[in-house]
């Protein structure tokens, strides 16, 4: 579980989800999600629960020369299994809310992940005080913000906006796997294009780039 990730609180008065057809499935979903520190796509979770068979057989990246031992499940079967997983997640979240737990399951970066509630952010930050030094620098945050909103973007375009060289900052963000090379621009020299990664979404608790604040939302309130 990622203990320093926080989410927005939900309405405690929301009715609990209906009891799932297979309560044992909820326990399995919970156990798998508690064992990973990365968002797990619903179809991968369903494959791990053996509800479906994916093209790569066990829900992992297929290796060269690997031959699946059975026929992959149909799209309809995959969707039905993902719906089962979603029902289990909904039931678990309702149970967490009723019992006043400090976490819930959220969809982040295209997958499910256990995340702590914002009410515990200060306590968690204090516990992990030693990690505060690993925060992004102001230059890194500025560079990352430009890349996030302008992607895909070349280094020259980025430096034209910031007005300073960004080579070292780009390298630092790539080392953290927050940004990556998305391809090459169709212009003289074919410069590399940079964009954000799934880890960026995960780090900032976003489901997709569309969830970034708009320009209007970022304007200071008068």
List the chain domain ranges. Answer: 2-126, 136-216
pLDDT at 66: 42
Averaged pLDDT, 141-170: 93
pLDDT at 220: 66
Residue 47 near residue 72 (C-beta atoms within 8 A): no
**Which residues contact residue 220 at a Cβ distance below 8 angstroms, ignoring those fewer than 6 apart?**
none
Alpha carbon distance 2, 197 (integer Å): 18
pLDDT tens digit string along 85-139? 999 999 999 999 999 999 999 998 889 999 999 888 888 777 755 444 457 888 9
Fold classification of 136-216 is Arc Repressor Mutant, subunit A (1.10.10)
Torsion of CA 71, 40, 203, 125, to 10 degrees: -160
Q: Closest Cα partner for 31 from 95, 92, 120? A: 92
pTM score, two decimals?
0.52
What rounded mean pLDDT belongs to the chain?
81
**Which residues contact residue 189 at a Cβ distance below 8 angstroms, ignoring those fewer than 6 apart?**
none
Query: CATH classification of 2-126, choosing from 3.40.50.1400, 3.20.20.140, 3.90.1170.50, 1.10.10.10?
Result: 1.10.10.10
pLDDT tens digit string along 23-72? 889 999 999 999 988 899 999 999 999 999 988 654 444 444 444 456 88
Asked if the domains 2-126 and 136-216 are classified in one and the same CATH topology, the answer is: yes
Alpha carbon distance 131, 1 (integer Å): 16
Residue 111 near residue 117 (C-beta atoms within 8 A): no
């Amino acid at each position: 579980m990622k203990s320093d990730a926080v989410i927005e609180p939900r309405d405690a008065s929301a009715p609990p989800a209906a009891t799932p057809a297979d309560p044992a499935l909820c326990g399995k979903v919970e156990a798998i999600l508690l064992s990973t520190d990365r968002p797990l796509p619903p179809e991968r979770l369903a494959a791990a629960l053996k509800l479906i068979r994916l093209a790569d057989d066990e829900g992992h990246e297929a290796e060269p020369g690997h031959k699946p031992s059975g026929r992959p499940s149909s799209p309809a079967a995959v969707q039905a299994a993902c719906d089962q997983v979603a029902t289990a997640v909904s039931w678990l979240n309702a149970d967490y809310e009723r019992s006043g737990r400090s976490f819930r399951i959220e969809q982040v970066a295209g997958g499910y992940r256990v995340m702590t509630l914002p009410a515990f952010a200060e306590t968690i930050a204090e516990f992990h005080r030693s990690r505060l030094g690993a925060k992004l620098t102001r230059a890194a945050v500025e560079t990352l913000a430009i890349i996030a909103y302008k992607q895909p973007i070349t280094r020259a375009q980025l430096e034209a906006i910031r007005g300073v060289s960004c080579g070292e900052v780009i390298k630092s963000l790539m080392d953290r796997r927050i940004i990556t090379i998305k391809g090459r621009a169709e212009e003289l020299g074919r410069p590399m294009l940079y964009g954000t990664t799934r880890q960026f979404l995960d780090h900032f608790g976003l489901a997709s780039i569309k969830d970034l604040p708009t320009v209007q939302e970022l304007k200071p309130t008068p």
